Chain A
Amino acid sequence: MSETPLASLSRRSFMTGSVSAAAAGPLMATSAKAAAPQPAASAEPRDLSAISLRINKQPYNLALDNRTSLLDALRDHVGLTGTKKGCDHGQCGACTVLVDGKRVLSCLSFAVMNKGHEITTVEGLASADGNLHPMQQAFIDNDAFQCGYCTPGQIMSAIGCINEGHAGSEGDIREYMSGNLCRCAAYPNIVAAIMQAQDETRKA
């Protein structure tokens, strides 16, 4: 299935995309059918690279400046704004996504380095019929957020943490989730949510 992501852009990402598109040419995501993947190597530093990414099982063909982080590619060029920009320096965990099932910080990864990898964002967790992922449901059940800004990163990190086998105890969860900061300090409820969702996440 390949749809044009432009149709689902939020107002914010549309505005961001419009500004950069006007300044620097065709930066927005194109339909997967529209262009065949091209070699990513560029000849001049300011050349755009053709970058094919698989995000939430959908192919995207993008033309991006090499400096574009995976985070900015997701938010500003694909229109998936669920992944949040907190510090943009790898210190807060708000931008956590899964790459090939492993949790990473999308702010510290250049989009061009992610060709051929399977990227999962918070938008890719719920099933097609709208049922939430067990971890999303557990965050609701346990009131595991207040302002909610860190929550997508917390949820993606929690899934990665369980997949790594590091969520066996509350102590382990606190240690292995330490890369995700919550300024509202919802930590006890986040730990409780992860404890609740462990078994179902392993099966999910």
Chain B
Amino acid sequence: MRPFVYERPASVSAAAAIASRFAAEGVPPTEAAAQFIAGGTNLADYMRLGVAQPARLVDLNGLGDRALRQIEVGDDSIRFGALVRMGEAADTGEIKRRCPMLAESLKFAASGQIRNMASLAGNVLQRTRCEYFRETSWPCNKREPGSGCAAMEGFNRQHAVLGTSNACIATYHGDFAQALIALGATVEVEARRGMRKIAFSRLHRLPRDTPNVETELAPDEVITAIEVPLGAWSRRSRYVKIRDRESYAFALASAAVALDMDGDTVSQARIALGGVATVPWRARAAEEALSGKALDDEAAEAAAEAAFAEAKPREHNAFKIPLGKRTLVRALLETRDMKV
């Protein structure tokens, strides 16, 4: 592991100032000399593997602002402080009641220990577990731009079928992010030049030709809060996750579904898919296929077909297309049948 200087600022502005001092033009946060750490569950691992090589770690756990550690459940929204840990959010009764999808996406992620450590903001920024990204002896366009992609013709069973490019097919593994993109969340970020809000759907970037640039964030921008609007769809919501083993594994396929129903008819569907795409993935085509329709088996299957119409399989991951469709169908029907 590369040696690093450790700093523990007491305010967001001080943290942003340190990061700003070491930021360089055109260098994304994941390659910056100074990087933020909160839970450390992803970054410490990648530093040990040599994938991440910050020369300076800015520990956010000393930040004094109490709102960073609070969950506020209001009438119209839930606001998560960025430093709230996954486990606390998953166990909050009001969240389980008002928007089950949010709590389930957290409960089914990682392990009890990791959920106690990992911050919500850090969780949504977690990096892929592509084996070729993790092991620095392989070429990888995400880790070393221009070096090539060993996954394309390699063992790509866990790789993405949606949102891929010729440069990268690494899966975005997070679960919470699927709930956030389905629900239309907003991320609040702070830097020395001020605050801004980013729609969660715009936070992550498709890999395209620059898979090393993963988000819209600048290296000195600190996520301070995540705000999730509540609506007629929130209570009738689920997160279904399919894995190689029943617990403590990344999704092979998952579906976040929230439905606003008028009798048997779908007024509004909100759908996101995990384990199958390079970024958090809102399935707009599936939502449109369901809008105004009676939600029966046939409609659910048509929505699933629409969701994967653009899917591009590789040698070992073609199974994710039928698995992803069946996961979505199951999630739609189970969500329809929820008693709310």
Contact = CB atoms under 8 A, between A and B. Distances in A.
| Binding between chains A and B | yes
Interface of A: 40-47, 49, 65-67, 69, 88-90, 93, 96, 102-105, 107-110, 112-113, 157, 160-161, 164-166, 174-180
B147 interface: no
B110 A179 contact: yes
B116 A102 contact: yes
Interface of B: 1-8, 37, 39-41, 44-45, 47-49, 55-57, 59, 61, 87, 91, 110-114, 116-117, 246-248
Contacts of B113: 90, 93, 96, 103-105, 157, 160, 179
A90 B6 contact: no
The 10 A-B residue pairs whose C-beta atoms are closest, nearest first, are: A179-B111, A45-B3, A178-B247, A178-B248, A66-B6, A102-B116, A108-B44, A105-B113, A67-B1, A46-B3
A45 B1 CA distance: 11
Contact of B112 (A41, A43, A179): A179
B109 to A, nearest CB: 11
Nearest to A100: B116
Given A113-B61, A174-B247, A41 B8 contact: yes
A160 B112 contact: yes
A90 B112 contact: no
Contacts of B1: 67
A66 B3 CA distance: 7
B117 A104 contact: yes
Contacts of B48: 88-89
A76 B111 CA distance: 26
Contacts of B41: 90, 105, 108
6 contacts: A45-B4, A67-B1, A104-B117, A105-B113, A109-B40, A164-B112
B6 A89 contact: no
A197 to B, nearest CB: 17
B116 to A, nearest CB: 5
Nearest to A114: B61
A114 to B, nearest CB: 10
A160 B113 CA distance: 9
Contact of A103 (B39, B49, B112, B248): B112
Given A113-B37, A179-B110, A160 B117 contact: no
